[in-house]
Chain A
Amino acid sequence: MVLVLVEHSEANPTDPSLQALTLARSFGQPVHALLVGAAADLSEHGVSVTHVAEHVALGSFAPDAWAAILGEVAGRLSASAVIAAGTERGNEVIARLAARTGLPFAANCIAVSPGPPVTVTRLRWGGSLLEEARLHGSHALITVAPHVVPVEPSPMPADIERFTPDLSDEDLLVRVVEHVAALGGGVSLTEAKVVVSGGRGVGSKEGFAMIEELAGLLGAAVGCSRAVTSAGWRPHTDQVGQTGTKVAPEVYIACGISGATQHMAGLKGAKRILAINTDPEAPMMLNADYAVVGDLKEIVPAISAEIRKSR
């Protein structure tokens, strides 16, 4: 059997975890799920047994404890693979399990074949490159890249087995002790329907005034490239890309952005891309749906004026 760590929000399994359950079925073995803190209805997702770890100390996330529980259940059931979603938490918990067991860990996989040896296809460079790799270990540790594998329902009645894990003080030391809520305000980059983004071509911190003006007219979020945050023109929270935020707007307007792989890794979810650049051969222009050639300092204010005129 294979064991899948299922993350949930108030007993609702998260989408990336359901995607992990779908990929887990490619092993062709019974799939068991492990949830920490609450049971969830997984009867549509091909799970034969749902294991629910309940412990008074698990009210807040404790990654070592999660790794200990996952390792204990996997050992007890002789799981041939342990799988989680390639979320921050999924990768963190599986990395800790890998550290405890010395087993190989392949992060952010998009395909697996059971082997032996287990073979995976996984993401590198934020998805700009794929790697085919073999895992040589008694068990495979795998996370599944979020939002790549579509969820395929597979109805099956799931038994629920609740248990109380043995946890040491050591395993509970690293835990969330406080949550600081984000300050509201502004349009969120991840949820914006339109993102107006500026790159090195904007030229300066002050140059972003025209980007903000257009964003304001469109109810859009302001984004930027890594070159811009490295120069200190915008905060890192505005950065779109591999080491920034991944966006999924209806329209992404890229102003003066060359389109390095670092940036494009953040745009895979964008429906339409409009690029404005002086260089018609810039990768951003070649990977866009619409291109305007020229100086953004003339074009962006002209678009803002045109929008005002049309209202």
Chain B
Amino acid sequence: MRILACIKRVPITGGRIVLTDDARAIDTRHLGFTMSPHEECGVEEAVRIIETNGGDSVVLTLGPSEAVEQLRDAMALGIDRAIHLLTDDQEWDGEATAAALTEAIQSDEATSGRFDLIFFGNESADSAGFQVGARVARALGRYCATGLKGVSVEGSSVRCEQEVEGGRDVYVLPLPAVLTVKEGLNLPRYPSVPGRMRARSKPVAVSTPLRPEPQLELVRLIVPAGQGRQAEVLGSGAAAAPAVVEVLRKAGVL
């Protein structure tokens, strides 16, 4: 099988989000970065399916030069090679991102063969547009299931499970298919030291797509006012237990 996992580099925001002076981005000078959580599960799923069925796997991202770190992370987990669509610091909207990814996928498939499965996160942790996977699927003319917490390849089809109220809805799609997944699909492994070593020498193909004018244009970001909670310190250590019980009693839960 051939499997592609699409990922996005996002900051680890910690306790409080601070914006740049022009309020058009998060001030990331003091922040670490990671792969968006849902997508990490897409990478893990891709690696597991290839481990079971054999084949090869590719990771694809659109992002700044530093996003190569997240591509290496994915390869450390077992992905074979990477494609990096290099951008400057400007944001790309969902439509532009999907168009660039589609072109990269078509070009890779022209030389290496069709991907049986393409994984996306259901939505990115940061901009949360909920749309890139569906747009790429449509552009490639492939069926798509979204928001999945269960994926199993069964011959030439894939069984997909979506968590809904009261249980799970099941979809069965023919391959090739595009799947958007959510955290909880699996528990991503930690990269091993040999995995990290191998990832360093795995190939990364870089190209620089042109950014079209955004259709969804970011004007500015706003940090919402807090909920205005004012913490009352009940005490410290075990001695605070009676005060805690009093609070629970007043809240009507004891």
Contact = CB atoms under 8 A, between A and B. Distances in A.
Given A125-B125, A175-B171, A218-B254, A288 B187 contact: no
A306 B146 CA distance: 47
B173 A173 contact: yes
Contact of A250 (B166, B213, B217, B253): B253
B230 to A, nearest CB: 8
Interface string A58-100: 0001010000000000000000000000001001100110111
Interface residues of A, number: 96
Interface in B167-192: 167-174, 182-184, 187-188
A30 interface: no
A275 interface: yes
A95 B169 CA distance: 19
B245 A95 contact: no
A217 B233 CA distance: 23
B93 interface: yes
Contacts of A178: 169-170
A17 interface: no
Given A63-B146, A243-B38, A292-B244, A179 B168 contact: yes
14 contacts: A92-B146, A92-B147, A121-B222, A131-B220, A136-B215, A176-B171, A177-B170, A230-B187, A251-B253, A259-B15, A275-B231, A287-B229, A290-B234, A294-B238
Interface of A: 61, 63, 88, 91-92, 95-96, 98-100, 102-108, 117, 119, 121, 123-137, 143, 173-182, 193-194, 218, 220, 226, 229-230, 232, 236-237, 239, 242-244, 250-251, 258-262, 268, 271-275, 280, 282-283, 285-295, 298-299, 301-303, 305-307, 310
Interface of B: 12-17, 26, 37-38, 93-95, 98, 123, 125-131, 133-135, 137-139, 143-147, 161-162, 164, 166-174, 182-184, 187-188, 213-224, 226-227, 229-245, 247-248, 251-254
